[in-house]
Amino acid sequence: MARSRNKFTRETARQQMVDAVGSDQIEYQLDSGETLHWPHPMFYPRSVRDDLLAVDEDTVDSRPVARALLGKEQMAKLTEQFDGDEDDAADEVVRIVGIVQRESTARMNGRPTRS
């Protein structure tokens, strides 16, 4: 009997999604050379999802989103990179997440992405 192509384990399902979107992490290199990491939108842990759900969806303030993704320590480092302007740092995070989401969708739909 032929083996089902739709049989998954927790690990194979996760790995296939990682392969489909490119990575389970987003990386951002600071000018100092240090790299910040936060989860890819497909892999947000429950704590991040809960924090994001608590953000007022009518707000245009990207700081709560960036804080939820990066945490206190990494957000402070990124803010320092933007000369202490937390708004600019948070906007950068939101832009990057948007780029990653677009690229992941294109990759999963079989369209070319920037490499």
Report the candidate in 115, 88, 103, 111 with the shortest Cα–Cα distance to residue 42: 103
What pTM does this model have? Answer: 0.78
* Banded pLDDT at 112 (limits 50, 70, 90): low
Q: What is the pLDDT of residue 106?
A: 81
The predicted model gives 2-29 an average pLDDT of 81
Tell whether the model's pLDDT for residue 1 goes beyond 70: no
* Banded pLDDT at 53 (limits 50, 70, 90): confident
What does the DSSP assignment read for 55-76?
A: S-TT----HHHHHHHHHHHHHH
- Of residues 47 and 35, the one with the higher pLDDT is 35
Cα(95)–Cα(14) distance, integer angstroms: 25
Q: What is the pLDDT of residue 26?
A: 92
Report the candidate in 106, 95, 115, 113 with the shortest Cα–Cα distance to residue 28: 95
Cα(1)–Cα(20) distance, integer angstroms: 28
Tell whether the model's pLDDT for residue 65 goes beyond 80: yes
